[in-house]
Structure 1
Amino acid sequence: MQNKLSSTKYLTMLGLLAAVEIVLAFTPLGFIPLGVTKATTIHIPVILGAILLGPLAGGILGGLFGILSVIINTFQPTITSFVFTPFYNLSPDFHGNGWSLVVAIVPRICIGIIAAYIFRFLHRMFTSEIVSFAGAGLVGSMTNTILVMGGIYLFFGRQYAAAKGMDFSALFQAIMTVVGVNGVLEAIVAAILTLAIGKVLFQIVKRS
């Protein structure tokens, strides 16, 4: 789809989606209450950019998401922010490092790349906008949850468990619960929003 856009329109849409990301990151709009949890929506512009502009744009927007995560966790830290930023240390025992940047940024880049190719695959297989948009939103969101939580377990497992006040032996089950509950709820929200917003933007792109 990105080939149908002039470079000016491509960059304009990329800039607009990046601006939306920043607004979502620093306002309550980035989180939708779902009763027992909150669904993150900051990755929605990443998925939309991947669908409409391609994997390169998706990767760029995903990288921005990761950088915003580093900034937020540095200046508005929580007890586990050290897994997302090397610039915040809760204590000598709970501190970030270079792997924090990997956990914060790499999965978010992968959101955009994977969502773009999932959309293209589904669009070829089913030629259905509903399946293509919803599927890309679902898989893109789950990519974020699985890779972030997997990175936390791999690089910061013992520190993260201790910060959460649990035994390391219980961490894997706790992470699987996050993926199965929070992750699935976020993925459903992402699928719905990607479908609703993406269909509108898709028509605009086709007319460009």
Structure 2
Amino acid sequence: MEKAKTNLTYLIELALLVGILLMMNITGLAMIPLPGQYASIMTVPVAVGAMMLGPLAGGVLGGVMGCISFYTAIKTGFSTLFLAGYTGGIVVVLSFINTIIPRILMGICVGWVYRAASRLDRGNTISYYIGGIAAPLLNTLFYMTVLVLIFLNAPTLQALLGEELMAKFQDNILLFVAAYVGVQALIEAALGCVISGSVCKALRVVLKQ
């Protein structure tokens, strides 16, 4: 009976975080306006779930976040992939891989990162913040890795850039990634660290009560 109650509590908490993710996307609360751009905090519920409920929950929440991104890609007509020269069903497959798989991995890995950090930080003084900053950083890392691989093999990219520019692109992948994510990624990492870490610390106090 106690195990069933624990499982039910787990499912309720997971469903609540899924609802928060969907609400943040629908209402636009996930996007914080900055000068000339927006910073996303969609990784916050994923990080909170991964740290409070475990890596499996992190993977599920990451998958939900990925599905939201995939839906956005559908609404925009997969314009980026079509521009790169991909056509037909491969566009849908690549978009699915690019939007969903990195987010699932991110959620799982955040749970692992937190568990590793909490073993060294018994009082959870900073481990929640380590997990909080890991979510946006890993999200950017995994997403950009898949995106770069997709573009390096794009059918028309070499034709568009030319052989010389394509060679420079391949030799300066890290500079391209840095230019693509820019300051926004650093701001999202800082926000994820502070918000996710603070929420988890507050939840820890409430749940202990």
TM-score scaled by length of structure 1: 0.81
Query: What are the superposed Cα offsets for residues 41-100 of structure 1, whole Å, 9 maximum, x if unpaired?
Result: 1111111000000011111111111111111221245742x4xxxxxxx46935424222
User: Which letter maps to 1:181?
Assistant: V
User: Which letter maps to 2:131?
Assistant: A
Matching residue within 165, 176, 183 for 2:178: 176
- Counterpart in the other structure of 2:151: 156
* CA root-mean-square deviation: 2.7
Query: What are the superposed Cα offsets for residues 144-167 of structure 1, whole Å, 9 maximum, x if unpaired?
Result: 0011011111013465996xx975
Q: Percent identity?
A: 27
- 2:88 maps to 1:93: no
Q: Distance in 1 between matches of 2:18 and 2:155?
A: 30
Q: Distance in 1 between matches of 2:31 and 2:74?
A: 19
Q: Is the 8 A contact 1:130 1:195 kept in 2?
A: no
SS at match of 2:29: helix
Residue pairs, 1:20-169, within 5 angstroms:
20-77=20-77, 79-80=79-80, 82=81, 90=82, 93-95=85-87, 96-157=91-152, 159=154, 168=166, 169=168
Q: 1:92 to 1:178 in 2, by over 3 A?
A: closer
SS at match of 2:52: helix
User: Which letter maps to 1:197?
Assistant: V
Compute the displacement of 1:201 (Å): 1.8
- Counterpart in the other structure of 2:18: 18
- Counterpart in the other structure of 1:186: 188
Structure 1 stretches of 5 or more lacking a match? 83-89
- The structure whose RCO (Cα within 8 Å, separation 6+) is larger is 2
Compute the displacement of 1:183 (Å): 1.9
SS at match of 1:29: coil
Q: Is the 8 A contact 1:134 1:194 kept in 2?
A: yes
Q: 1:40 to 1:161 in 2, by over 3 A?
A: farther
Q: 1:91 to 1:118 in 2, by over 3 A?
A: closer
Q: Is the 8 A contact 2:21 2:42 kept in 1?
A: yes
Q: Distance in 2 between matches of 1:39 and 1:92?
A: 26
